[in-house]
Amino acid sequence: MSSAEGLGAERASSGPALLQPGGIRMVRGDARRLGAHIDGCDINFALAAPHAEGVELCLYDAQGQTEAARLTLEGCTDGIWHGRLLGWARPGGELPAYGWRVHGPWDPGRGQRFNPAKLLLDPYAREVFGRYAGEEVHLGHDPRAGDTTTRADPRDNAALALKARVVADLPPPPVRPAPLDPAARIIYEMHVKGFTRLHPEVPAALRGTYAGLAHPAALAHLLRLGVTTVSLMPVSVCADESRLLALGLTNYWGYNPVAWSAPDPRYWSGTPGTSARGELRAAVDALHAAGLEVILDVVYNHTGEGDETGPCLSLRGIDNALYYHLLPDAPSRYANWTGCGNCVNLSHPLVLRTVMDSLRRWVLEYGIDGFRFDLAPVLARGGCDQGGAFLRHAPLFAAIGQDPVLNERLMIAEPWDVGPNGYQLGAFPPGWLEWNDRYRDDLRGFWLQGGAGRSRLAYRLAGSSDVFGHARRAAYTSVNFITAHDGFTLADLVSYAERHNEANGEGNRDGHSHNLSVNNGIEGETGNAAVLAARARQRRTLFAALLVSLGTPMLLAGDEIGHSQGGNNNAYCQDNETTWINWSRADLGLLDFVGTLVALRRRLHLLRSSGWWRDGPGGPGTVARWFGPDGAPLSIADWESGEAGPLGLVLLGADDASGDEARDRGEALLLLFNGAALPVTFCIPPGRWLLEIDSEKAQGIDPPEPLGRSATVAPGCLWLARAAPGTPDGPAAVDVAAEAGT
């Protein structure tokens, strides 16, 4: 049917009669709420497509199989098409599935790719039927024409198209847990499926699902570890790339969305009487009941429609020139600052509104406590006519900052993309946290490569004050991590000198090549006791360094029990034992060591200071005294040396503290770092010190051991000691001694 044919017509399918008795009536609707919303016994539909010439609503049975009617939306207000379906939400009745057919010009040279032969998924879909499997019928362009611009593909894709289902709002979440002290936050990044898919204590039917995440065995591990915040990798409905499908692989990580507000049914248990929506909500409720925050990784920078050769599933066919950044001199092509083929245009108010509504949906229906924004600079870029410049006062930042639902939620930026000036670490608004890859690289460089000097280590330990301190942002702004989903696991970081991504089907060319990793003389698995001991020590040291650093630490799920991906550092397409946490081989000794570190961080206030460290008396906050092995302050030459030399640090609670800092008064901590290849003997500052952590040892030291006037730290190890409480020659004496350089 052409863009001019059939508009205004009402058509029933050849299948069963209409879903509701008495015929179908649609009147003009309400443009104020986009998507499908139940209003009494009626359903209001609205779609933003200002360049369209006409919009049809296609209704299906509740299973999304049989088309019951095709209705024209007569109302169009300020570019929003709307209609009100009367009497279709009666109590006890089934709610329909639906899709859009959008009419307008096929004119890729002007940026538009309207094709009413394609049934399109609502950007506001909250529940989705079907699974995109890469079928050619979903292409908006006719592949037989030889390019993506000549003509529209005439084949109807409805039988295989993704469809949304009208759903009622979930009830409001239970009372939100008491706000967490942001300086006390410890993030645990996990994949919903990978976390429990092989967990022996989770029932088989629930493994790898939202319900599995809520199981007491899963919660028990999180509580045993002591983290405060679970960061879920994307759970929105996503599309698998055609290349992966051809190889029999899937996009396991989920960074390729097609429905921003719909939980992916891949992680639903299928338990009768439940749904993906309800099961995810129950999981969040269970995490909250256990005292944990829940952060959601969201991908608003691009969609699974890819570049101009990709499928026409939703936004491309609804209003391509509205939703995407197009190249000014070639509007048939997309800006690609994401490396994923397209970029969503949040500089347009209607697109920004769509994203803001999605964020609010996750908060209001699921109780999500915050968001981690994938490739966040894309979300703050101006249009291509502005060169795609990163805007420090971008509309998204302003909208979130004034939104009463969102402005108290946690916002975390992944502060880089592949566009112009795409590295924006430190450029996000006050109140936002940022993933800090400089921390990752400098800690790896110091402890594993010996190529990061003491000054770089000190800056990272001090919350990357060189990046975030000048803008008066909070000291916990830096999200510190050694590993994340993207890259080696911690076990692999110390077991592989090279990536091993052959299973991804790209000839081992994908993934990071600059990993700053080591194999300790043997690549991969080994039974060599000395190599295994070295790897274990390195893991303990890196964990210890992470958890004593100023900032917000983030752990990668599975690292605490030694999970390996066999050297794959880009396992985005490995939905198998490569990425599923192997609980049967859990290193419980490492788990206990990490749990001890987490407990120390939560108990010792100086390890989670809310203010920046300072180097002298006067004013509130923690005093940091840096020194060399001889106990004296380091020289300029020592600081500027590029070698991973030994370094000592005393942290002191302020004597003149008040308010929140009063808890730090009288505390003192001693930290010794030996990144050298040989043992180093340190002169211990005056005072009575009790050693609690030596990363050479596989366990925390209990009871703590008193230190003498000197101590020898093994190569590649970290010590943590605290001042014995209630001693007259404790912290005050340390302060004077350190200031005097003795």
Query: Do residues 357 and 300 make contact, with C-beta atoms less than 8 angstroms apart?
Result: no
Question: Does the CA dihedral 348-349-353-354 come out positive or negative?
Answer: negative
Contact 477, 665 (CB under 8 A): no
Distance (Å, whole) CA 615 – CA 609: 15
Q: Give yes or no: 559 in active site.
A: no
Check if 575 is active-site. Answer: no
Q: How far apart are CA 564 and CA 167, in angstroms?
A: 41
Q: One-letter amino acid identity for 41?
A: C
- Residue that is written with structure tokens 């069963």 in the block: 16
Residues contacting residue 322 through CB under 8 Å, at least 6 positions apart: 48, 49, 50, 51, 345, 348, 350, 351
What distance lies between CA 683 and its chain's CA centroid? 43
Q: Report which of 520, 465, 469, 586 is spatially closest to residue 198, judged by C-alpha positions.
A: 586
Cis preceding linkage at 703, omega within 30:
yes
* C-alpha distances in Å from residue 506, one per residue of 491, 502, 515, 573: 24, 7, 18, 11
- DSSP secondary structure letters along 34-96: -EEEEETTEEEEEEE-TT-SEEEEEEE-TTS-SEEEEEE--EEETTEEEEEETT---TTPPPP
Q: Between vectors from CA 242 to CA 240 and to CA 244, what angle results, nearest 5°?
A: 70
Nearest to 542 by CA among 411, 662, 693: 693
Which of 56, 189, 264, 414 does the annotation list as catalytic?
414
| Alpha carbon of residue 660 to chain centroid | 30
| Signed CA dihedral, 587, 593, 597, 600: sign only | positive
CA dist., res. 185 & res. 479, Å (int): 10
Cβ contact 355:179 at 8 Å = no
Catalytic residue among 67, 279, 305, 374: 374
DSSP per-residue codes, 144-193: GGSSSSS-B-----TTT--EEE--PPPPPPSPPPPPP-GGG--EEEE-HH
List residues with catalytic annotation: 374, 414
